[in-house]
Structure 1
Amino acid sequence: MSAPTTTHVYATSTRLGEVTIEPVDPDRDAGLVQGWLAHPASSYWQMGDLHVDDVREYLAGLAARPAENAWLGRLDGEAVFLTETYDPRVLLDGVHDTLPGDLGMHLLVAPPATPRHGLTDAVMTAVMRFCLSDGGVPAGVPSSVPSGGGTTAGSGQGALRVVVEPDVGNRKIAAKNAAAGFRVLREVDLGRGAHAKRAALSVATRADFAASALGDGFAARPEPVNHQPDPMVATHLTSGHMEHAHRHLAAKALAELAHERLFQPEPDGTARDGDSEGADGPAPDAYRLDLDGVTYRFTARRYALEHWVIDAASIRRTADAGLRGVVDLPVDALELIAELQPLLQVPDALLATYLEELSATLAGAAAKRERELDGTTASVTGLLEAVRTASGTHATAEAFQQVEAAMTEGHPSFVANNGRIGFSLRDYRAYAPERGERLRMLWLAARREHTHLALAADQTEAGHYGVPGTPGELSDAERAAFADRLAARGLDPADYLYLPVHPWQWEHRVAVTFAADVARGDLVPLGPGSDEYQPQQSIRTMFNRTRPERHYVKVALAIQNMGFLRGLSPAYMRATPEINDWVAQLVANDPTLRGAGFGVLRELASVGYTGDVYHRTPQPNPHRKMLAALWRESPVPRLEPGDRLVTMASLLHRDASGASFVSALVRESGVPPEQWLRAYLDAYLYPLVHCLLAYELAFMPHGENLILVLRDGVVRRAIMKDIGEEVAMLGHGALPAGVERIRAVVDDEEKALAIFTDVFDGVLRHLSGILAEDGVLGEERFWALVAETIDRHAAEHPDLGASRPGTGVDLRAARFAHSCLNRLQLRNTLQMVDLTNQSESLIYAGTLANPVTRRER
């Protein structure tokens, strides 16, 4: 839409005084605007070299074009900003999918001679009211007459949605746009030559602004059009996508459940036609599995640690139909589990829950495939290009999150790994990590007497939430808006702590399950925060997309997923920052770990509410884990020039074409595969071995919990996260009193499982199979390099007695206990293990041959 020309002066009151907006007079205002543009603070406008005559011509050109307008803004009569409005159908043609009522906006705030706190907030508030307010009243009408928000006079522009496209590198304006309710749609390329820029195309509706920190008092009107996808349309649920998902999941189920020795496929003499020696090694062998009335045949290769790689396309399911002979049946992962039930022995009362998690995993796999095939999700080639070409902090963070959202497999060992019971189709589209969408946390004020805020030793409450002029997790505008909303209800902000909650958690849990707490004012809904977050693979952890250097936030999300209700315990969170401080200090003070570049992302603040009735019941219950949050450091501030970030889960990723991320990464790096793998093991395995042998300290080092730092495609260092809930002291070493909860004393053989089960079986087994299947590196050489890494640590630390037969933890032992993950979920689909005594919850299936055992000379 084109902004109407008007001679009226628009006026509105703000925290700093009255703001007026009037049409620009090129002759009168050119000198003033030229001075603003020439200031270094205005560099993103790319107009600092213009002279006064150039600016006058520029402003006159705006006035002459029907699709654009320029406006001068004053605060209490002093000119302090320029804003431009434009028709995005014209200026963003081919870039933005314009909707009726869209209005584009640019904003230039005058660089003040003396900084004035809150100026930009006041200006942004006024400009957004101006853009979104309807006609209003003429200038001269008393300013007490409301017109669209605040106290206003004069004509607003009547937009339904404001569109902006700031340079992605302009982090200050990104934060200010977020505070006004703007949502980033995507990044786009605009302009040409010297004026080209990578822009964050963003929009804010009337409702977005009204709910934002800067939108208090704005009267939002109902949105005239629902732009959400039709909830009845599920385009991913087609026979083609679902057949692929069934075959993929059936292959995984057969492979992982055979690996856990729940059954043993037998060699089959009826190999499929066409199987022969391949480019990547010998042809796969043929196997069969006979069940009650049904037979499965497939081809597979077997590797160390009883690892199966099954060709999903080869799976054939048949049944004896009597006189009709043997008939083919569809490959159906759900039917496979039902047919395997006598062997799996899932409790009858829980079988349907497991099948529901499996169904959700199938639906997710179909949706992921649809997005890959239509190009919404990048292929391996696209991901590598994004990582390789990322330049600067923002682009590196963008590529990091692009890889994060592209992951398709979930946990590599669990079969039902994307259950998410509780999500609707709309929820899935909004909150599933693979969708890559952004969301805003909803904030509650939680009464201080029922709420605990725990902080790392170097943190303070004021510093964590933010102080005037220094944003923390909340900006100045957010803190002011939240305090005003509490005061408007007659509540003292000093009596409350601020607690972020997931939008799903508010809608489905807080507003229902904790309705009494909300009604009595112990929990006060304050509205959405400004920053946009992207869900990570761990689904309840969010990466800050507005300010990537700020902390992750992890929140309770009471959906059922992979054997657990994904809550977050306030009691557990109370000790989390102290645990992280202790682990971080240990890591930082150890020269071996420093030399390996190993680091941890501290969880340095946690908050939890316990004023509800569920905390007063005789027995612990899941409802005690629904109102807590923690903040974790971002890896972005640790970047050095040339660094790139990827989740370690990417090393096990294959795209829709079957291309492997790790194989492509190795080949693109230009270094020999052995050298590449050695660098990875030095960054990942070596520090974990050292932590175990030197400190009896074990992490949960699966792919989602490690961030890899790449340089020229080669792993240079690894950063561990998710410390507070998943670190364990396995011996009698000294611990601070507040950290004692992580102690879980076990014998040396079980200590070794921290490497054998969690690293060898949980990660390296899969990685070795991928590299061998792709012809990048044979498994014998792979495991030889793993052995070399362990032996090198032993040689460099002879005092630790590492890997000497019969001395403590022996990582070169002949065999180790085969701990089974799927068996845990099959035994209890609602809670796989007792988190307070995980060792006693484990299920073993004999022992596995250690692929790095000592060889007889």
Structure 2
Amino acid sequence: MLYLNETEAILQKEAWEKVNRSLLAKMLAEYMYEDMIHPEKVNEYYVLTTQNERKYRFKAEKRYFDSYDVKEETIEVMEKNVWRPEVNAIRFLTDIQENIGMSSETAGHLIKELNHTLIADAYLLAHHVKTSDQLTELDYAELEGEMSGHPWITYNKGRIGFGFDDYLKYAPEMQRETKLFWIAVHRGLAQFQSVSELHYDKLIANELGEEMVQNFREVIQKYGKSPQEYYFMPVHEWQWLNVLVQNFPEDLANQKIIPLDEGTDHYLPQQSIRTFVNLTNRYKHHVKLPMSILNTLVYRGLPSERTVIAPQVTAFVKDIFENDSFLKEECEVVLPGEVASINVSHPHYSELKGAPYQYLEMLGTIWRESIYGYLKEGEKPITLAALHHVDPDGKPFVQSLIEKSGLNADEWIKQFFGTIMPPLLHFLYQYGTVFSPHGQNTILILKDYKPARLAVKDYVDDVNISDQPFPELAGLDENMKSVLRSEPPEGLTQFIFTGLFICHLRYMANVLVTNDLMEEKDFWSHLAEAIQAYQEKFPHLEERFKLFDFFKAELTKLCLNRNRMVDYGYGDGDDRPHASEFGKVRNALHDIRQETMTI
């Protein structure tokens, strides 16, 4: 099947030029932020001359945190001494290759990722036509499929490993329901872990039902094997077809891994592609599965050691919550835990010193508590990513929420920061523990369209602890300490500063400013006020406020595009790539507080 109708529907000249202009504006803005390109300001334009003597010009407005809002309709290129509108993002990439010191190997792979991204953007343009007013009424699981991906990374829907058929079948923007395929894995190969109140038989009975559990046992018995010697676990169809059969043939031949059947429940993939919400029963667990595709910076597998320890991390986080009245009773923060996991290490790759990390993350499952089980009457969850979404008519999603809430923008944003910041700050300051609260991991719970509570998920990848000798961390066992990332003070601060402020809030602020909903300074002032209000409430933590300082004049600039394009490329290292450090970013919160103190 060639999907010719689908190709034609997506790839229309006018749409292709539009998504190229949008991506080009994003590339200019983010590469300027990451100090990869340095256009000159000439009158009302910024002008960039590339090493191959091509000239680009565009208009842009400066924003806080050394950022820019590039006006896509103003981007032009000089051709035959005439300025013409530029509509080719890939050509721009090849033009700046020498400017930024990008290898041809990296550029070649990146062209592929950018083309995949542009195809997905063209699909979104053609098919996602719901207004922001309509989106505010969508359920959490469906809303995720309306989002357009990482706001900072320019190759945000690269999905290397997918064919066009895979894209049409599995991408979250397709919003196609799916069933999960189940396999049986011999217990000699697999590690099962869970929180203390959940054992394996209880989990599987809840996920499959007794009838299907019995059917699966009978399949194993037909092979002359004992069901008690196996764990049942779901796998993604794409992973089975493209990775598992090819990499585990010995275990399949020896019936150490036995294919079973599809489950009966229907699921919907979320923005990460590999996390699924159960639509048949929304109170059942969300399921996270490895998919060995390269998307954004990493292969989307499940790291073995973190998969094994996930329930233990959940127990650690929940123990803090249960014993802290501020988190539990005042904030009522929601912590959907990763309560069970199965990891299967590859028998050969795991013995290979320095093996590429993606081969160590191919087979596993994590079960996470459903957000729906935590909601009160009238509450509605949305991921933070929705708050910088703009509909096809140019109306921001957050504007629709503000209008329906009955608050003005200033009141809504104050309530927003008063909701999300206190629990994040409390975990950091009081317990030396931080989440990575970017737009996908952080869930805002609304009540009557107003910010009401915060939920934070994804502990397996994104819970990190301080390297300082805090008594609150003294009880952690060495196994936990060896797996969780232990960071010095600025490193830990960066998870909130970069993960939330830079990776999410600067885009949200830009949407508000561009649509005349709020002054930029007012937005960031409300954030500064929320941090200060927390600090005034807990003066006994003053030394830690200095240690994890959100008001420093500058912080290390972490770069995501630079990591792929210049520093890491497409190498097959034994560890996942992390954000690159390059230069400093001027901290608007410092400037705002300085102004406040001098008034």
Deviation at 1:783, TM superposition (A): 1.3
CA distance in 1, matches of 2:489, 2:95: 39
Please say if residues 274 and 291 of structure 2, whose CA atoms lie closer than 8 Å, have aligned partners that are also in contact: yes
Q: What is the aligned partner in structure 1 of residue 339 from structure 2?
A: 604
Amino acid at match of 1:500: P
SS at match of 1:710: strand
Q: What is the aligned partner in structure 1 of residue 562 from structure 2?
A: 823
Deviation at 1:352, TM superposition (A): 1.3
Q: What is the aligned partner in structure 1 of residue 416 from structure 2?
A: 680
Please say if residues 305 and 851 of structure 1, whose CA atoms lie closer than 8 Å, have aligned partners that are also in contact: no
Distance change >3 Å, CA 571–CA 817, structure 1 → 2: closer
Amino acid at match of 2:245: A
Q: What is the aligned partner in structure 2 of residue 721 from structure 1?
A: 457
- 1:798-851 deviation per Cα after TM superposition (whole angstroms, max 9, x unaligned): 0110686xx32222222222222211122224369985895xx64122332333
Q: What is the aligned partner in structure 1 of residue 584 from structure 2?
A: 846
The correspondence of residues 153-192 of structure 1 with structure 2, limited to 5 A, is none
Amino acid at match of 1:772: V
Structure 2 residue corresponding to 1:430, chosen from 165, 169, 172: 169
Structure 2 residue corresponding to 1:562, chosen from 288, 291, 296: 296
Structure 2 residue corresponding to 1:656, chosen from 367, 389, 392: 392
Q: What is the aligned partner in structure 2 of residue 765 from structure 1?
A: 506
- 1:38-89 deviation per Cα after TM superposition (whole angstroms, max 9, x unaligned): xxxxxxxxxxxxxxxxxxxxxxxxxxxxxxxxxxxxxxxxxxxxxxxxxxxx
Q: What is the aligned partner in structure 2 of residue 615 from structure 1?
A: 350
Distance change >3 Å, CA 765–CA 475, structure 1 → 2: same
Q: What is the aligned partner in structure 1 of residue 116 from structure 2?
A: 360
The correspondence of residues 46-445 of structure 1 with structure 2, limited to 5 A, is 233-269=7-43, 271=44, 286-291=45-50, 292-319=52-79, 321=80, 325-326=81-82, 328=84, 330-372=86-128, 375=129, 378-384=130-136, 386-387=137-138, 399-408=139-148, 410-445=149-184
Structure 2 residue corresponding to 1:644, chosen from 369, 380, 387: 380
SS at match of 2:56: strand
CA distance in 2, matches of 1:802, 1:444: 52
Structure 1 residue corresponding to 2:538, chosen from 777, 785, 797: 797
State TM-score, norm by structure 1: 0.66
SS at match of 2:426: helix
Structure with the largest fraction of helix: 2
Judge which range, 553-562 or 484-493, deviates more.
484-493
Please say if residues 816 and 850 of structure 1, whose CA atoms lie closer than 8 Å, have aligned partners that are also in contact: no
- 1:379-402 deviation per Cα after TM superposition (whole angstroms, max 9, x unaligned): 212112x24xxxxxxxxxxx2122
- 1:627-681 deviation per Cα after TM superposition (whole angstroms, max 9, x unaligned): 1111101010111111112111100111222221112211221112222112211
RMSD over aligned Cα atoms: 2.1
**Paired-residue identity, %:** 27
Distance change >3 Å, CA 787–CA 852, structure 1 → 2: farther
Amino acid at match of 1:502: H
Structure 2 gaps of 5+ residues are none
Distance change >3 Å, CA 371–CA 802, structure 1 → 2: farther
Please say if residues 451 and 611 of structure 1, whose CA atoms lie closer than 8 Å, have aligned partners that are also in contact: no
Distance change >3 Å, CA 666–CA 235, structure 1 → 2: same
Please say if residues 299 and 315 of structure 1, whose CA atoms lie closer than 8 Å, have aligned partners that are also in contact: yes
Q: What is the aligned partner in structure 2 of residue 136 from structure 1?
A: none
CA distance in 2, matches of 1:831, 1:606: 29
SS at match of 1:313: helix
Distance change >3 Å, CA 312–CA 573, structure 1 → 2: same
Q: What is the aligned partner in structure 2 of residue 147 from structure 1?
A: none
Deviation at 1:346, TM superposition (A): 2.4
Q: What is the aligned partner in structure 1 of residue 496 from structure 2?
A: 755
CA distance in 2, matches of 1:719, 1:428: 30
Distance change >3 Å, CA 836–CA 360, structure 1 → 2: closer
Higher relative contact order (CA 8 A, sep 6+): 2
SS at match of 1:600: coil
SS at match of 1:491: coil
Distance change >3 Å, CA 524–CA 235, structure 1 → 2: same
CA distance in 2, matches of 1:328, 1:638: 54
Amino acid at match of 1:566: R
Judge which range, 617-626 or 353-362, deviates more.
617-626
The correspondence of residues 384-533 of structure 1 with structure 2, limited to 5 A, is 384=136, 386-387=137-138, 399-408=139-148, 410-466=149-205, 472-533=206-267
Q: What is the aligned partner in structure 1 of residue 275 from structure 2?
A: 541
Please say if residues 442 and 527 of structure 1, whose CA atoms lie closer than 8 Å, have aligned partners that are also in contact: yes
Please say if residues 75 and 85 of structure 2, whose CA atoms lie closer than 8 Å, have aligned partners that are also in contact: no
SS at match of 2:11: coil
Distance change >3 Å, CA 630–CA 762, structure 1 → 2: same
Please say if residues 439 and 500 of structure 2, whose CA atoms lie closer than 8 Å, have aligned partners that are also in contact: no
- 1:505-544 deviation per Cα after TM superposition (whole angstroms, max 9, x unaligned): 1111112222222111111110111111111001111111
Please say if residues 231 and 425 of structure 1, whose CA atoms lie closer than 8 Å, have aligned partners that are also in contact: no
Amino acid at match of 1:415: T
SS at match of 1:548: coil
SS at match of 1:558: strand
Which entry has the higher C-alpha Rg, 1 or 2?
A: 1
CA distance in 2, matches of 1:559, 1:744: 24
- 1:523-569 deviation per Cα after TM superposition (whole angstroms, max 9, x unaligned): 11101111111110011111111111001111110111112111113
State TM-score, norm by structure 2: 0.93
Please say if residues 464 and 486 of structure 2, whose CA atoms lie closer than 8 Å, have aligned partners that are also in contact: no
Deviation at 1:327, TM superposition (A): 5.6
CA distance in 2, matches of 1:312, 1:834: 39
Please say if residues 700 and 727 of structure 1, whose CA atoms lie closer than 8 Å, have aligned partners that are also in contact: yes
Amino acid at match of 1:843: E
Aligned residues: 586
Please say if residues 794 and 803 of structure 1, whose CA atoms lie closer than 8 Å, have aligned partners that are also in contact: no
Please say if residues 554 and 584 of structure 2, whose CA atoms lie closer than 8 Å, have aligned partners that are also in contact: no
Distance change >3 Å, CA 642–CA 727, structure 1 → 2: same
CA distance in 2, matches of 1:618, 1:751: 30
CA distance in 1, matches of 2:532, 2:255: 61
Deviation at 1:570, TM superposition (A): 3.0
Please say if residues 317 and 331 of structure 1, whose CA atoms lie closer than 8 Å, have aligned partners that are also in contact: no
CA distance in 1, matches of 2:7, 2:488: 55
Structure 1 residue corresponding to 2:320, chosen from 586, 607, 610: 586
Please say if residues 598 and 683 of structure 1, whose CA atoms lie closer than 8 Å, have aligned partners that are also in contact: no
SS at match of 1:795: helix
- 1:609-638 deviation per Cα after TM superposition (whole angstroms, max 9, x unaligned): 225332232333322211111110101011
Q: What is the aligned partner in structure 2 of residue 702 from structure 1?
A: 438
Distance change >3 Å, CA 832–CA 339, structure 1 → 2: farther
- 1:166-211 deviation per Cα after TM superposition (whole angstroms, max 9, x unaligned): xxxxxxxxxxxxxxxxxxxxxxxxxxxxxxxxxxxxxxxxxxxxxx
Please say if residues 824 and 832 of structure 1, whose CA atoms lie closer than 8 Å, have aligned partners that are also in contact: no
Deviation at 1:742, TM superposition (A): 4.6
Distance change >3 Å, CA 750–CA 401, structure 1 → 2: closer
